[in-house]
C-alpha cells in the first residue's frame, strides 16, 4: 500500500414501541450533545460520497469500559503518490478488475430498475438481502438463499436494512426509518432493546449475529451500543465518551467507529484503542476485518476525504491517492471494495495488492447513467455483492 504523505494528501482537496423490550442491561449510558449524522444509504452515496467517510469522523462515538490506549502511526519512508483519478465531474479512468458479474433473479411482482434501494449480504455470501421501495407503499424485502429468492414478510418495514447474519437473521430500522431497530428471523420481527425512550438504530451485524449501532435520544444525542448475538432484548452501551455511533463489527464482535473527532476500536475483551490521526486532519474508521480498519482521512479545512487504512497490529496509516472513494467492505488481507462516485454516476471498485480497479458493470438502464455499488465481500475477497444499474449483482474475482 502507498505510505502516508500529508502534504500530498492536502493538495488533493480543493473545496413498534421500545416498551416491548423485556430486558435491558448496563443502563445509564452517558450521552451528551454533539452532531448527529443520519445513516448512510447506498443511493445517498451517489449524491455525495465525497464527504461520506469524513462525515463519519464528526458523528461521535463512545468508548467501551476498559483500558484505553492510543495507536501510534509507523513512520513512513516513501512519499505517497500524487492524488490521481478524475475530478468530481468526470467518471473514473481506472483499470477493470478481472472479475465476472451476474445478477440475481427477482421474485414475481418486484421491479428492480424502478425500486431497488439497498443490498446487503452475510460474510459467507449465502444470504443476500435487498430492499425495494415504492413511494408511499412501504418496502419489499427479498432474501436470496444460495441464489433462490423469497419475499420476507417484515411488517411495517421500510427500505432501511443494514445487514444479515450467516444464520439468516436480517437487521434493519432505526432513527431514520419508520420503525426503530429490529431483527427478523424465522418469520418473527423482534425490536432491539433500548434504554428509556431512545430509538435503537443498528448500523452493522457480523456473521455470528452481533449487532452494533447507537441509541438516539434526541436531536443531538446518541450512544454507541452493541446487541449481543441472539439477544435482541439486551443492549450494552459503550460508555466513556460523549455522543457516538458504532459503525462496523468484526467476526469476533470487535467494533469500530468514531467519537467526537476521534476514531476508536472496541475489542471484544473490553479494551479499546483510539486510532491516531495526524494533527490538522480528521479521520474515521467505519469497517473492520483485523488487522485492518478502513475509513477516510482529510484536512480539517476541507469537506472531503481520501480512503484510509489503519493497520491495528502496527498502528500505521495508509491513505490512498484518490478522492471520491468510500470503502464499504474489507478483508483480513487488506482487500477492500466500495464505490467511486462522480457527478451523475457511480462505479463499484476493488482495491487489491495496491491497485484500485473498477468492477465490470451491467447494461445501463434506459435514461440513466451507470450506478454500481459494492456493499459486501466474503473474507477471501473473491465474492463481492452489491448492485449494478439497479439489479442485485454478484461479482466473482
Task: Say if CB 306 and CB 15 are below 8 A apart.
Answer: no
Quick check: is 357 in a domain?
yes
**What mean pLDDT is predicted for residues 179-202?**
93
CA 270 to chain centre: 22
Task: Say if CB 349 and CB 337 are below 8 A apart.
Answer: yes
pLDDT tens, position by position, 58-72: 332 222 223 333 333
Q: Specify whether the backbone of 253 is left (phi greater than 0), alpha (psi in -120 to 50) or beta.
A: left
pTM of the model: 0.81
Q: pLDDT band at residue 52, thresholds of 50, 70 and 90?
A: very low
The number of folded domains in the chain is 1
Strand (E) or helix (H) holding 57: helix 52-57
**DSSP code of residue 222:** E
Tell me how far CA of residue 166 lies from CA of 43, 90, 101, 125, 343, in angstroms. Answer: 25, 38, 23, 8, 36
* Domain span at 359: 6-26+56-396
**DSSP code of residue 96:** B
Mean pLDDT of the chain, nearest integer: 77
Of these ranges, 174-188, 315-329, 353-367, 375-389, the one predicted with the greatest mean pLDDT is 375-389
Quick check: is 35 in a domain?
no
Task: Check residues 85 and 280 and name the one with the higher pLDDT.
Answer: 280
Quick check: is 39 in a domain?
no
pLDDT at 261 over 90: no
Of these ranges, 198-202, 240-244, 266-270, 373-377, the one predicted with the greatest mean pLDDT is 373-377
CA angle 211, 212, 214 (to 5 degrees): 135
Quick check: is 315 in a domain?
yes
pLDDT value at position 366? 67
Quick check: is 49 in a domain?
no
pLDDT value at position 313? 92
Torsion of CA 226, 232, 233, 234, to 10 degrees: -20
Q: pLDDT band at residue 157, thresholds of 50, 70 and 90?
A: confident
Quick check: is 322 in a domain?
yes
Give the integer Cα–Cα distance in Å for 210 and 187: 19
Quick check: is 311 in a domain?
yes
Write the CATH number for 139: 2.130.10.10
Strand (E) or helix (H) holding 263: strand 262-266
Q: pLDDT band at residue 301, thresholds of 50, 70 and 90?
A: confident
Give the integer Cα–Cα distance in Å for 202 and 165: 13
34-38, 144-148, 251-255, 392-396: least confidently modelled range: 34-38
Of 128, 132, 135, the closest CA to residue 154 belongs to 132
Phi, psi of 7 (to 5 degrees): -65, -45
Quick check: is 130 in a domain?
yes
**DSSP code of residue 49:** G
Task: Say if CB 156 and CB 16 are below 8 A apart.
Answer: yes
pLDDT value at position 242? 63
Task: Check residues 271 and 6 and name the one with the higher pLDDT.
Answer: 271
Give the integer Cα–Cα distance in Å for 316 and 310: 6
Amino acid at each position: 500500500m502507498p505510505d502516508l504523505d500529508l502534504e500530498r494528501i492536502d493538495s488533493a482537496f480543493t473545496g413498534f414501541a421500545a416498551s416491548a423490550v423485556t430486558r435491558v442491561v448496563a443502563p445509564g449510558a452517558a450521552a451528551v450533545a454533539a452532531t448527529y449524522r443520519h445513516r448512510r444509504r447506498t443511493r445517498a452515496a451517489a449524491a455525495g460520497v465525497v464527504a461520506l467517510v469524513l462525515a463519519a469522523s464528526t458523528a461521535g462515538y463512545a468508548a467501551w469500559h476498559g483500558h484505553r490506549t492510543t495507536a501510534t502511526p509507523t513512520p513512513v519512508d516513501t512519499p505517497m503518490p500524487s492524488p490521481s483519478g478524475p475530478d468530481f465531474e468526470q467518471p473514473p479512468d481506472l483499470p477493470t478488475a478481472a472479475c465476472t458479474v451476474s445478477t440475481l433473479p427477482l421474485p414475481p411482482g418486484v421491479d428492480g430498475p424502478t425500486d431497488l434501494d439497498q443490498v446487503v449480504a452475510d460474510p459467507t455470501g449465502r444470504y443476500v438481502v435487498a430492499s425495494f421501495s415504492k413511494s408511499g407503499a412501504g418496502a419489499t424485502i427479498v432474501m436470496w438463499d444460495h441464489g433462490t429468492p423469497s419475499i420476507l414478510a417484515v411488517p411495517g418495514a421500510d427500505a432501511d436494512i443494514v445487514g444479515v447474519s450467516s444464520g439468516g437473521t436480517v437487521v434493519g430500522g432505526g432513527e431514520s426509518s419508520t420503525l426503530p431497530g429490529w431483527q427478523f428471523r424465522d418469520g418473527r420481527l423482534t425490536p432491539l432493546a433500548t434504554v428509556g425512550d431512545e430509538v435503537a438504530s443498528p448500523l452493522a451485524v457480523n456473521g455470528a449475529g452481533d449487532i452494533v449501532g447507537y441509541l438516539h435520544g434526541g436531536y443531538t444525542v446518541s450512544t454507541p451500543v452493541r446487541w449481543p448475538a441472539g439477544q435482541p432484548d439486551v443492549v450494552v452501551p459503550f460508555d466513556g465518551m460523549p455522543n457516538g455511533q458504532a459503525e462496523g463489527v468484526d467476526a469476533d464482535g470487535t467494533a469500530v467507529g468514531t467519537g467526537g473527532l476521534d476514531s476508536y476500536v472496541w475489542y471484544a475483551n473490553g479494551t479499546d484503542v483510539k486510532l491516531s490521526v495526524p494533527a490538522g486532519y480528521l479521520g474515521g474508521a467505519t469497517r473492520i476485518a483485523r488487522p485492518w480498519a478502513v475509513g477516510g482521512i482529510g484536512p480539517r479545512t476541507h469537506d472531503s476525504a481520501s480512503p484510509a487504512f489503519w493497520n491495528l497490529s502496527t498502528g500505521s496509516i495508509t491513505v490512498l491517492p484518490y478522492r471520491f472513494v468510500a470503502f464499504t467492505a474489507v478483508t483480513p488481507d487488506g482487500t477492500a471494495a466500495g464505490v467511486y462516485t462522480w457527478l451523475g454516476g457511480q462505479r463499484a471498485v476493488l482495491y487489491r495488492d495496491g491497485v484500485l480497479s473498477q468492477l465490470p458493470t451491467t447494461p445501463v438502464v434506459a435514461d440513466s447513467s451507470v450506478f454500481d455499488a459494492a456493499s459486501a465481500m466474503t473474507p477471501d475477497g473473491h465474492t463481492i455483492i452489491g448492485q449494478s444499474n439497479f439489479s442485485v449483482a454478484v461479482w466473482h474475482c
